[in-house]
Amino acid sequence: MSTTSYNRRDFLKTGGMLSSGLLISFFVPAGAKRFIPGGETPEPLFAPNAYLNIGPDNTVKITLAHVEMGQGIWTTLPMLIAEELDCDWSKIKVEHAPPGAPYIHTLYGVQITGGSSTTWSEFDRYRNAGATARTLLVEAAAKKFNVSPSECHTENGFVIAGNQRASYGELADAAAKLPPPASVKLKDKKDWKYIGKVKKRLDTTAKISGEAMFGIDVHFPGMLIAVPAHAPVFGATVRSFDASAAKAIKGVQEVVQVPTGVAVIADNFWAAKQGRDALKIDWELGPGENIDSTTQFEEYRQLAATKGATAAQAGNADDALSRANKKIAAEYIFPYLAHAPMEPLNCTVKISDDLCEIWTGTQMPGLDQSIAAKILGFKPEQVKVNTLFLGGGFGRRANATSDFVAEAVNVAKASGKFIKLIWTREDDIRGGYYRAAFLHQVHTGLGADGLPIAWQHRIVGQSIQEGGPFAASIKNGIDPTSVEGVSDSPYLESIPDHNVELHSPKLPVTVLWWRSVGNTHTAFVMETMIDELAFAAGKDPVAYRRSLLKGKRHLAALDLVAKKSGWDKPLPQGRFRGVAVHESFGTVVAQVAEISIREGHLRVHKVTCAIDCGLAVNPDGVKAQMESCIIFGLTAVLYGEITLEKGRVKQRNFHDYKMLRMNETPLIEVHIVDSNEKMGGAGEPGVPPVAPAIANAIFSATGKRVRRLPLQSSDLVKV
Amino acid sequence: MIKLSVNNQPYTVDVEPAMPLLWVLRDILHLTGTKYGCGMAQCGACTVHLNGEAVRSCVTPVRRAENQTVITIEGLSKDFSHPLQRAWIEEDVPQCGYCQSGQIMAAAVLLRENPHPTDQDIDDAMSGNICRCGTYQRIRKAIHLAAKLSAK
């Protein structure tokens, strides 16, 4: 499969450019073993090796089955190939894959970047791709040199035998004609030159020079800009509209109605936005108008008073609670959160008689392709998706409805024009697909030894999986993403009598996964409540956790963070510490936050972080992700809140949906546990422990427990 | 018709004088290194230099740039050789990268005005620029490094 095209090459100034060269087309051996967490039986994999090709100029072009949205996969996947291929690192060029069978997630069955899964899910596939290519190049060289393959070795993009040497580029043509090897042997860990070593990102120069192309940057002659007008409340529809004022604006070309609203198409963004703002639309509001954040939580509270679907159950928590020496009950509230990636959502669409071409930044290009095809009555192969750099994703660009892509296709279809659809920041903040709002209620009881003997937990919040491509994961009324972090909590394993129940109310507000998904709220509840129990038991928070946690990864991360943060050492006057540890996406992260509170103002001075993700393929990449997660989590603690009043989202831009800034950034120290455990993810698992670590530090300072996020000013006043 | 000098190139553009400089750069001149993030001077992704000062091009009407000198990220250096760019590479700063043009342009003015900034100076100069990936710690390190590289 060729992964280049005229158009793509024409504008993609960075990364993917390469003269077509000679495509080595071969196969990954059928028996190629994949890394499967949990030991499921791998499906036989016999896909064309669409992951790399080598040009006559020795360029190694690597095609990514996953997309670069900041997490560093543009560098990590090439490291896996380079490790086995033994190529010249400076000759590597990288590009995103189009939708296609070879790029389907090795575990999830759809082409997706998400779930902090890229590195572990591709660990074997990309190494095999590199090893297969190397085997063929060696074989081609052996023929050329008239020696046996065993007499050849490879070095930095050359095959060498005695005095003879040939570059990979010289051998590419001959290697392409050879049959694929039945199997390849991967390198021994001790021989790794790339894996586990720090490698600088391959996308940095593009991103510091203005050369990097994001979806919003594409431009073609004849292309127009579209800005949509969306409903003021969720689920509303257009009754009628008056576009006369919009059409009077210089540069406005056309106004079209689409299922999601009305779009103004103009010569440039500025004209399109002015036109959009001048539209007069009469909306059929529907029930979305009745949603109000205050009453929503009141309704959730009433639901929490009733029995929900069972997510986890052992023993008899009611009985155990009645025997408890000490009981603690608490309720927690979490708001809707917008992802707010820095690059506003956008999508460019060109439709001709029998082809639709799309340019965008997306985490699910295959799904976008099929949804676009359905809208147009095309076959999926008639829709070409070009994925550019994503200016942040955080889950927002992996949407089962392909919302912004579908809207762009509808605008192009309705207008017959070649358009780039751009959402304003306001459209993004008010555009839904939020982290769902949640309410938790917990009743716990301590035994005579101070350890918990009973745990009752009810969770109320919308399901994000319902109706989506992973809806099959909902079993017995439980969307696992609503309860992950509670129902599978290692603490519950130490509590013989427990139950976890879930209510999944339906609302018109659209919801979606948001960096670390359910763990964004469940880790907060578990880790602040455990801290509360430790205090009630008169135990040190780290020691108390150690007495409940059995897993060696949890203990290793906890011990490392305690050591590196100086947990046992006294703090300067006015400084306070809190700890949290949480497993998500196959990785355990422990964090200690050091804070002070002055005149009701919280300052987070330092966050020490320890991560056990198993093998860290690019250790500096893992550190960067932890830094990123900590800022992301801290932003939600301090500011993150989407509120609705009469169905209307109150926030609209960064002045009222605030982001953490440089002056609020703590010192962050990341330590990686030297671990041989199963590989986990790194893009998300640093988020969940941040909020509870800070809340626990606040308790230490104020004597008050934080029950609601974001922090309220009353949380920062001493009892 | 409005005459502009962008990255030392003369341009004449036929646009509304009220059109923000950002959209002239992006949609008319196709200099897309300058980014749209908020449209209301909240995030700094659109930062460019107007006569050497860092301005938010999303709220700067193009008429303010008439016959003035505009430098964008594309004009900072031809070969990633600006000390800030070298430092950004050394510290592996960018993640998604979308905000980094604005970060670098803001930092360039800081370093010109204050060749040896303290952490507090960096906070003061850089807190108008949002990075959703949270690369602030590396930006801070890179600015300190760039100060050293410039001094050499």
Q: Does B97 touch chain A (CB under 8 A)?
A: yes
Q: Does B16 touch chain A (CB under 8 A)?
A: yes
- C-alpha–C-alpha distance, residues B16 and B27, integer Å: 13
Q: Does B27 touch chain A (CB under 8 A)?
A: yes
- C-alpha–C-alpha distance, residues B2 and A499, integer Å: 70
- Whether A36 shows a pLDDT value over 90: the answer reads no
The percentage of chain A sitting over the pLDDT mark of 70, rounded to a whole number, equals 93
- Average pLDDT of the residues in A566-593: 98
Q: What range defines the domain where residue A351 resides?
A: 215-286+345-422
User: Is A696 within 8 Å of A580 (Cβ atoms)?
Assistant: yes
Statement to judge: residues A358 and A456 lie in one domain: no
> What digits encode the pLDDT tens for the residues A399-441?
999 999 999 999 999 999 999 999 999 999 999 999 999 999 9
Decide if A449 is inside a domain.
yes
pLDDT recorded at residue A22: 27
- C-alpha–C-alpha distance, residues B100 and A386, integer Å: 23
Decide if A94 is inside a domain.
yes
Statement to judge: residues A448 and A308 lie in one domain: yes
Interchain proximity B27–A269, CB inside 8 Å: yes
ipTM: 0.98
- Whether A97 shows a pLDDT value over 90: the answer reads yes
> What digits encode the pLDDT tens for the residues A613-632?
999 999 999 999 999 999 99
Decide if A498 is inside a domain.
yes
CB pairs under 8 A between A and B: 185
**Residue A123's closest CA among A32, A205, A61, A200?**
A32
pLDDT recorded at residue A39: 35
Statement to judge: residues A564 and A686 lie in one domain: yes
Q: Which of A390, A422, A454 is the last residue before a domain boundary?
A: A422
Mutation test of the interface with chain A: which of B15, B24, B38, choosing the one with the most A Cβ atoms within 10 A? B38
Interchain proximity A390–B99, CB inside 8 Å: no
pLDDT recorded at residue A45: 24
Q: Does A655 touch chain B (CB under 8 A)?
A: yes
CA distance A96 to chain B (A): 14
Using pLDDT thresholds of 50, 70 and 90, give the confidence band for residue A540: very high
Interchain proximity B98–A391, CB inside 8 Å: yes
Domain count of chain A? 3
pLDDT recorded at residue A470: 81
> What digits encode the pLDDT tens for the residues A135-180?
999 999 999 999 999 999 999 999 999 999 999 999 988 898 888 8
Using a CB-CB cut-off of 8 Å, the residues of chain A touching B137 are: 627, 665, 667-668
Decide if A549 is inside a domain.
yes
Using pLDDT thresholds of 50, 70 and 90, give the confidence band for residue A719: confident
Interchain proximity A201–B94, CB inside 8 Å: yes
Using a CB-CB cut-off of 8 Å, the residues of chain B touching A342 are: 35, 37, 43, 45, 96, 98-99, 130-133
Complete domains list, chain B, with CATH: 2-74 (3.10.20.30), 83-151 (1.10.150.120)
Statement to judge: residues A189 and A45 lie in one domain: yes
> What digits encode the pLDDT tens for the residues A296-309?
999 999 999 999 99
- C-alpha–C-alpha distance, residues A273 and A263, integer Å: 10
Identify the CATH number of the domain in which residue A404 sits.
Answer: 3.30.365.10
- C-alpha–C-alpha distance, residues A39 and A558, integer Å: 26
- C-alpha–C-alpha distance, residues A431 and A453, integer Å: 44
Decide if A368 is inside a domain.
yes
Q: Does A11 touch chain B (CB under 8 A)?
A: no
- Average pLDDT of the residues in A552-576: 98
Nearest chain A Cα to B48, which residue? A210
Statement to judge: residues A541 and A572 lie in one domain: yes
Q: Which of A395, A422, A449 is the last residue before a domain boundary?
A: A422
Decide if A490 is inside a domain.
yes
Task: Give the tokens for residue B14.
Answer: 């036929």
Statement to judge: residues A186 and A225 lie in one domain: no
Q: Are strands A252-258 and A419-422 parallel, antiparallel or unpaired?
A: unpaired
Which residue from B26, B27, B98 is facing A342, i.e. has the nearest CB? B98
- C-alpha–C-alpha distance, residues A260 and A388, integer Å: 24
Which residue from B74, B88, B133 is facing A210, i.e. has the nearest CB? B74
**Positions of chain B with pLDDT lower than 50, given as ranges:** none
> What digits encode the pLDDT tens for the residues A38-60?
333 332 222 237 899 998 889 99
- Average pLDDT of the residues in A104-114: 93
pLDDT recorded at residue A4: 29
Decide if A392 is inside a domain.
yes
CA dihedral angle for residue A332, residue A337, residue A339, residue A345, rounded to 10 degrees? 160
Distance of CA B70 to the CA centre of its chain: 10
Average pLDDT taken over every residue of chain A: 92
Decide if A427 is inside a domain.
no
Statement to judge: residues A691 and A543 lie in one domain: yes
C-beta neighbour count of A183 within 10 angstroms: 13
CA distance B6 to chain A (A): 14
